Amino acid sequence: MTHKVLHVGAGGFGEDWCHRFLPPNVADGTIEVVGLVDIDATALEKSRQHLGLKVDQCFTSAEKAFQMVDADFCTIVIPPALHEWVVDLALARNMHILSEKPIADTMEASVRIADKVRAAGLKMGVTMSHRFDQDKSTLRALVSGDALGRINTVSCRFAGDFRVYDSWGRFRHEMDHPMLIEGAVHHLDIVANLAGAPCTSIYARTWKPDWAQYKGDTDVIVVMDFANGAHGVYEGSSAQATGLNDWAKEYLRVEAASGTAILDHREIEVFHRHQKRARQTSRQGTGQQVSLLSGMKWANSLLIEQFCHWLDGGPSMATNVEDNLQSVALVFSAIESARLGEPVKVQEFIQSFRKSSSNEA
Tell me which of 36-40, 43-47, 126-130, 275-279 is least confident. 275-279
- What are the C-alpha distances in Å from 195 to residues 11, 183, 319, 359? 35, 19, 16, 34
Q: What is the per-residue pLDDT across 281-317, written as a single tens digit (0 to 9) for each?
A: 889 999 999 999 999 999 999 999 999 999 999 999 9
Q: Give which of 33, 27, 28 is closest to 48, Cα–Cα.
A: 33
How many angstroms separate the first and last alpha carbons of the chain?
A: 37
Examine residue 83 and state whether it is found in any structural domain, yes or no.
Answer: yes
**Nearest-CA neighbor of 336 among 236, 202, 217?**
202
If asked whether residues 141 and 103 sit together in one domain, one would say no
Residues 8 and 112 in one domain: yes
- How many Cβ atoms sit within 10 Å of the Cβ of residue 39? 14
63 and 161 fall within a common domain: no
CA angle 158, 263, 315 (to 5 degrees): 95
Residue 303 lies in a domain: no
Amino acid 354: pLDDT: 86
Q: Are residues 181 and 89 in the same domain?
A: no
Give just the sign of the alpha carbon dihedral 103, 217, 168, 38: positive
- Determine contact, residues 261/254, Cβ cutoff 8 Å: yes
User: Largest alpha-carbon pair distance within the chain?
Assistant: 72
Question: pLDDT, tens digit, for every residue of 107-157?
Answer: 999 999 999 999 999 999 999 999 999 999 999 999 998 889 999 999 999
Is residue 211's pLDDT more than 90?
A: yes
CA distance 187 to 133: 12
62 and 149 fall within a common domain: no
Asked if 219 and 183 count as a contact pair (C-beta separation under 8 A), the reply is no
> What pLDDT score was predicted for residue 356?
65
pTM of the predicted structure, to 2 decimals: 0.94
Helix (H, G, I), strand (E, B) or coil at 144: coil
Domain range for 278 is 134-290
Instruction: For 49-96, write each residue's pLDDT tens digit.
Output: 999 999 999 999 999 999 999 999 999 999 999 999 999 999 999 999
pLDDT for the residue numbered 148: 95
Contact 77, 100 (CB under 8 A): yes
Q: What is the 3-state secondary structure (H, E, C) of 104-121?
A: CCCHHHHHHHHHHHHHHC
What mean pLDDT comes out for the span 182-192? 96
Q: Are residues 118 and 218 in the same domain?
A: no
pLDDT, position 358: 59
Residue-level pLDDT at 274: 80
**CATH code (residue 14):** 3.40.50.720
The pLDDT of 352-358, averaged and rounded, is 76
Neighbours of 1 (CB within 10 A): 9
Q: Are 197 and 240 in contact (CB under 8 A)?
A: no
Within 10 angstroms of residue 79's Cβ, the number of other Cβ atoms is: 15
According to DSSP, residue 345 is labeled: E
d(CA 358, CA 38): 34
Which of 78, 98, 122 is the endpoint of a domain?
122
- The pLDDT assigned to 143 comes to 95
CA distance 220 to 201: 16
| CATH classification at residue 177 | 3.30.360.10
pLDDT of residue 146: 83
Q: For 218-274, what is each residue's pLDDT tens digit?
A: 999 999 999 999 999 999 999 999 999 999 999 999 999 999 999 999 999 999 998
The total number of structural domains in the chain stands at 2
- The percentage of residues in the chain with a pLDDT greater than 70, rounded to a whole number, is 98
Q: What angle do CA 124, 130, 132 make, to 5 degrees?
A: 70
Q: Contact, 161 vs 236, CB < 8 A?
A: no
Residue 218: inside a domain, yes or no?
yes
pLDDT in tens, 303-353: 999 999 999 999 999 999 999 999 999 999 999 999 999 999 999 999 999
Instruction: Tell me whether residue 24 is exposed, middle or buried, using C-beta atoms within 10 angstroms of its C-beta: 0 to 12, 13 to 18, 19 or more.
Output: middle
How does pLDDT run across 154-168, given as a tens digit for each residue? Answer: 999 999 999 999 999
Query: CA-to-CA distance for 8 and 37, rounded, in angstroms?
Result: 5
Cα radius of gyration rounded to whole Å, the chain: 21
150: phi > 0 → left, psi -120 to 50 → alpha, else beta; which? beta
Give the pairing type, strands 219-226 and 267-272: unpaired
- Same-domain pairing of 150 and 92: no
What is the spatial distance between Cα 175 and Cα 24, in angstroms, rounded to a whole number? 33
Instruction: Say what the pLDDT of residue 276 is.
Output: 66
